[in-house]
Amino acid sequence: MLERMEAFFRDRLSEYDEHMRTAIEGADEFYRYTAGLLPMESGAEVLDLGCGTGLELEEYFGLNPGAHITGIDLSEDMLERLAGKFPNRQMQLICASYFDAELGYERYDAAVSVESLHHFPGERKLGLYRRLHQALKPEGYFVLTDYFAESDALEREYFETLERLKREQGISDDAFYHYDTPLTAEHEMEVLKQAGFGEVRALKSWSTTSVILARR
């Protein structure tokens, strides 16, 4: 049974941090690695798409406590948890879908997303990535750390299974339900290039999680 995205994470809030840090291979390294790729200047403007409870921000604030963070997430409960972790840090937290939220123009030095965007198809992400490209400053960049399908066949299987479940449950295409539909890293990079990013490359992998860097 598919669950609505916000309900899925609300119901698992108490164990979310522990699960993300221990159940995903490489998480003890990739949160820290991701944070190390973000700007180190005090006052750097960083956008976090699907920030959740801020596991990557725990690492980042340890490196750059003066960063300015704009975090977007569907779950109000997770944002409350995040705000409680860092009462003295500069954060603007927005409870919304990042597909709908206003991102602005040439506002951010960098953007980041960790283990969030694998829930959506490439055609849905293309529009988001175009808006993200515009929201970054001319020298800005996007760090995507996410779960990727290991083959084209697996990618197709994930999407076919989701479509079957949606038909069986009468779920519309515009509703947000929790189900993993990762692209391959190669297909993800193609979508980023289509959105206008000039330099897109894979940096490092841990099992099915990889880090992609996309420069404006």
For the domain 3-215, what is the CATH code?
3.40.50.150
Please state whether beta strands 45-49 and 3-4 pair in parallel, antiparallel, or not at all (unpaired).
Answer: unpaired
What are the tens digits of pLDDT across the range 51-101?
A: 999 999 999 999 999 999 999 999 999 999 999 999 999 999 999 999 999
φ, ψ at 105 (rounded to 5°): -130, 125
d(CA 150, CA 65): 36
What are the tens digits of pLDDT across the range 156-207?
A: 998 899 889 888 888 777 767 778 899 999 999 999 999 999 999 999 999 9
d(CA 106, CA 134): 6
Can you give the pLDDT at residue 134? 98
Query: 11 pLDDT band (50/70/90 cuts)?
Result: confident
d(CA 194, CA 165): 29
Farthest-apart Cα atoms in the chain, separation: 51
Say if residues 88 and 148 touch (Cβ distance below 8 Å): no
Strand partners, 92: 70
CA 200 vs. chain centroid, Å, equals 16
Indicate the pTM of the whole model. 0.94
Domain assignments of the chain as residue spans, ordered by start: 3-215
d(CA 191, CA 120): 12
Can you give the pLDDT at residue 73? 96
Say if residues 56 and 31 touch (Cβ distance below 8 Å): yes
Question: Measuring CA to CA, which residue among 96, 75, 98 is closest to residue 10?
Answer: 75
Evaluate if residue 45 carries a pLDDT over 80: yes
Q: Would you call 183 helix, strand, or coil by DSSP?
A: coil
